[in-house]
Amino acid sequence: MGVVNVTPDSFSDGGRWATPDAAISHGRELLVAGADILDVGGESTRPGATRPLVEEELARVVPVIMALAADGATVSVDTMRSEVARAAIEAGAAIVNDVSGGLADADMLPVVAATGAAYVAMHWRAHSDTMQQHATYDGPGGVVAAVRDELAERVDAMLAAGIERDRIVLDPGLGFAKTAEHNWTLLRGLEPIARLGYPVLVGASRKSFLGSLLAGPDGVARGVEDREHASSALHVLLAQQGVWGLRTHDVRAAHDALRALARWNRTQPTTEPTP
């Protein structure tokens, strides 16, 4: 899943593709690089981000989705708003990627159910300006059990709203109301979430916990675009765990890494002759 941020304030690209024309061009480049899905978003969800007006978000994403869907791309809209989800689906989006899992907008689940779109529900506790105040997981099983249980509650809500099981994808929500240690624990503990019985999407690409991991001797976190090697390593490890999807900024790097893994898996180990 290639990321197309049509925003002036996204953490990963600083508004490089903030205009519709630039975003459409970037989306086409990601398709050539190997993206299977283009995830078009008009609201930054980086920590501390403020929300755009609904009209702003619509103006950012609808023209981009319309153009990329007309090209034949499978397009996802990254939004927490039912109005944006409805307009995006009418413009050609096939998937709604909702980082709030339906918690930010009570109308989201009924809208998705009525449209027939696929739905990615991420683990979420609060909006970006306050989410890190909710990064506490003191119950039995820690962050993995909490994320699993809270996603299971969202699944119940989705099914009750009429979204069919085969249209649901779950995302553990790395970095959303989670510390770096929570993120690493989740990455090593995806199996209980996968056992809920739904495909799993993971968005680890370029996130701040990788910047912290790669900090220099002065303790300064590695810059966003210099986290790609670590991102690719995680993509390989996650693919080996059988996750359904990888949300990434550098599609070419991820695609190359997965091609190498696929080739590795096709090679049978040789056996040394017995003396």
pLDDT score for 272: 58
pLDDT score for 260: 95
pLDDT score for 18: 82
Question: What are the C-alpha distances in Å from 181 to residues 33, 109, 184, 203?
Answer: 32, 31, 5, 16
Structure tokens of 15? 């508004």
pLDDT score for 275: 53
DSSP-assigned beta bridge partners for residue 96:
77, 119
- Nearest 5°: phi and psi at 211? -60, -40
pLDDT score for 230: 94
Cβ proximity of 190 and 219 under 8 Å: no
Rounded (10°) angle between helices 180-188 and 228-240: 30
Structure tokens of 214? 């790669």
pTM above threshold 0.85: yes
Cβ proximity of 181 and 199 under 8 Å: no
pLDDT score for 11: 55
Nearest to 210 by CA among 223, 219, 199, 198: 223
CA-based angle 54:58:60, to the nearest 5? Answer: 120
Each of the 275 residues of the chain gets a pLDDT tens digit; together they read 999 999 886 655 657 888 999 999 999 999 999 999 999 999 987 776 778 899 999 999 999 999 999 999 999 999 999 999 999 999 999 999 999 999 999 999 999 999 999 999 999 998 888 888 889 999 999 999 999 999 999 999 999 999 999 999 999 999 999 999 999 999 999 999 999 999 999 999 999 999 999 999 999 999 888 999 999 999 999 999 999 999 999 999 999 999 999 999 998 666 555 55
Question: What is the DSSP annotation of 32-44?
Answer: HHT-S-EEEESS-
Nearest to 82 by CA among 92, 90, 72: 90
Query: Residue 79 and residue 92: Cα distance in Å, rounded?
Result: 15
What's the first-to-final CA gap in the chain, in angstroms?
50
Which residues does the annotation mark as catalytic? 207, 247
Give the DSSP H or E segment for 120: strand 118-122
